Amino acid sequence: MQQGIGVLAAAASAALGGVTIATTRILVAVTDPLTLNILRFATAFAMMLALVLALRIRWPRRQDWPGVLILGILAFVVFSILFAWAMKYTTAARGGLAFSTMPVQTMLIAAVFGVELLSLRKCCGVAIAMAGVATALVTGLGAAPEGAWRGDLIMLAAVTCMSVYIVAARPYIARSDPLGFTAAGMGVGVAGLVLLGLFFGDFESVTRFGPSEWAAFAFVATGGGVAMFILWIFALGRTSPSAAAVSVTANPVTASISGALLLGEPVGANLLIGLIAVVAGIWIATTAPAVRAYRAGASNLRPEPKAAGKGQSELAKTAQDRTR
């Protein structure tokens, strides 16, 4: 039951993320990625902080704050800037397709961290998904905007950052409230973004926002800034990293639809074929039997010999007496 609720929450988060890709593309045409994310997450953090204080949510433990600091910078500074920067070059559909590699990247990173073991079936699924994405993005370059390949690569790098976050954040989430953990990390991220913005931000660009830009900003700050991250962290607290990441396949679907409706971007057959390959690869990889990895090493996997119980000792002694 908890696993199913976690996957549904992750799917809803991924769907919001797809729309966020298209609305971010609207905004980066007017402002820079750094300024956009300062406004986005400062607004989101203010709303989330009010929610945390009103509900008296538990903050992360003191000993977990170094991890919260690192993960907050990774998710809300590095990932968010790369995400917005990618959308300056590529389309919403292509960005969504690159983003859909998160499940396979998460599996690989989870294997590196020793959280999950890679089987031959998982490796085949990863290979199929990545090959589908590569084929779709390369064959569609002719119809894509100039320099779209830059955006595709930047988005893949952003997804790598988020995949590391997914794997590394789960133990912290288990020890604290998901909402408190998200708010703490977002607060750290906002502080980092503001510090960078003092030197590299373009706050004057906000004066060029029209009604469509303000509408897009309202969505990325609420749906893409509060709801999306709350749902995602909620999901990570109730399911495995790989199971949560599987739901990211909803992302390119909503990204393609939003890009077509809001930006008039075409959706070619190559992108649809790539999406099918991603779904097939993820299905192959995630339907493999789960095998748990233990940090303590292979010795912990071997069952310890059980000591003979009192009844067994007495039976053995009786048998020896009869044979004498």
- The pLDDT tens digits for 282-303 are 677 666 554 444 343 334 434 4
pLDDT exceeds 80 at position 205? yes
Indicate the number of domains in the chain. 1
Percent of the chain with pLDDT over 70: 83
Crossing angle between the packed helical segments 120-139 and 92-99, to the nearest 10 degrees: 170
- The pLDDT tens digits for 39-57 are 999 999 999 999 999 999 8
What's the pLDDT score for residue 173?
81
Helix, strand, or coil here: 190? helix
What is the pTM for the complete model shown?
A: 0.77
Average pLDDT over residues 220-245: 79
**Residue numbers of the domain that contains 18:** 2-107+146-265
What's the pLDDT score for residue 296?
38
Residue 76 lies inside a defined structural domain of this protein: yes
Q: Which of 89-93, 117-121, 164-168, 210-214 has the lowest mean pLDDT?
A: 117-121
Residue 272 lies inside a defined structural domain of this protein: no
Residue 29 lies inside a defined structural domain of this protein: yes
Mean pLDDT in the chain?
81
Residue 86 lies inside a defined structural domain of this protein: yes
pLDDT exceeds 70 at position 305? no
SS (H, E, C) 12-36: HHHHHHHHHHHHHHHHHCCCCHHHH
- The pLDDT tens digits for 48-88 are 999 999 999 889 999 999 999 999 999 999 999 999 999 99
**Stronger pLDDT, 9 or 222, i.e. the higher one:** 222
Largest CA distance in the chain: 101
Residue 186 lies inside a defined structural domain of this protein: yes
Q: Which of 11-15, 245-249, 274-278, 290-294 has the lowest mean pLDDT?
A: 290-294
- Name the residue with tokens 């495995």: 240
What's the pLDDT score for residue 175?
84
Binned at pLDDT 50, 70 and 90, residue 19 comes out as very high
Residue 141 lies inside a defined structural domain of this protein: no
CA distance linking residue 58 with residue 61, whole number of Å: 9
- In the DSSP assignment, the letter for residue 175 is H
Average pLDDT over residues 215-240: 85
Residue 40 lies inside a defined structural domain of this protein: yes
Residue 113 lies inside a defined structural domain of this protein: no
